[in-house]
Amino acid sequence: MSVETTVLPGYLAGTWQVDLNHSDVSITARHFMVSKVRGHFNDFAATIVTAENPLESFVTATIQAASIDTRQEQRDGHIRSADFLDVENHPTITFRSTGLRPNGDDYKLDGELTIRGITRPVTLDLELNAIGPDPYGGTRIGLSARTSVQRHDFNINFNALMETGGAVVGDKLDVALEIEAVLEQPAA
């Protein structure tokens, strides 16, 4: 299936680099079975390559696992430990897309996510927010993406139990990305 670039206003083929100062990668987990706690990764990089046919576009991303920030130092240290991300032995989390397909007005981005050296397929719900000029003479693209993964799929099995039953931390992690990227090189 082909998508006409006229369907995507301002669409440009080229290579884009994520603007770290205007992007966010976060995870949310159930905590004490009653609320949710969000963490943000403060150090990540991604390259987006938009193709002439938008469905042939792809992305690669690397997150520095130790950059997790939940706004609570003790919890952050525990998440960095071997109980969770094991950043000493697995300093990065990586994503590599394997396909892009339409989903109504949005897209499904298929890919491979690697955490703790374990690679699993994931599908992100992807929304193209806009493509347009910035005030500095450049061009930017804005994307939002969401997915959920199970901790146990990546051998993150720590699970303290509460006296009243239930786990301290849920197995499901909701992943949210708000990405702004700058056109580095238009397609030739």
Identify the pLDDT of residue 4. Answer: 47
For 124-165, how does the pLDDT look when each residue is reduced to its tens digit (9 = 90+)? 999 999 999 999 999 999 999 999 999 899 998 877 544 555
Identify the pLDDT of residue 8. Answer: 74
Identify the pLDDT of residue 85. Answer: 95
Q: How far are the Cα atoms of 10, 51, 77, 181 from residue 130, in angstroms, in the given order? A: 8, 16, 37, 11
> Is the distance from CB of 43 to CB of 25 less than 8 angstroms?
no
Cβ–Cβ contacts within 10 Å for residue 172, how many?
13
Which of 17, 22, 39 lies closest to 176, judged by CA?
39
Q: What's the rounded Cα separation, in Å, for the pair 96 and 9?
A: 26
Identify the pLDDT of residue 43. Answer: 98
Identify the pLDDT of residue 180. Answer: 98
Report the SS3 class of residue 154: helix
Identify the pLDDT of residue 159. Answer: 72
Spans in the chain with pLDDT lower than 70: 1-7, 31-34, 160-168
pTM: 0.89
Sorted by where each starts, the structural domains of the chain and their CATH numbers stand as 5-186 (2.40.128.110)
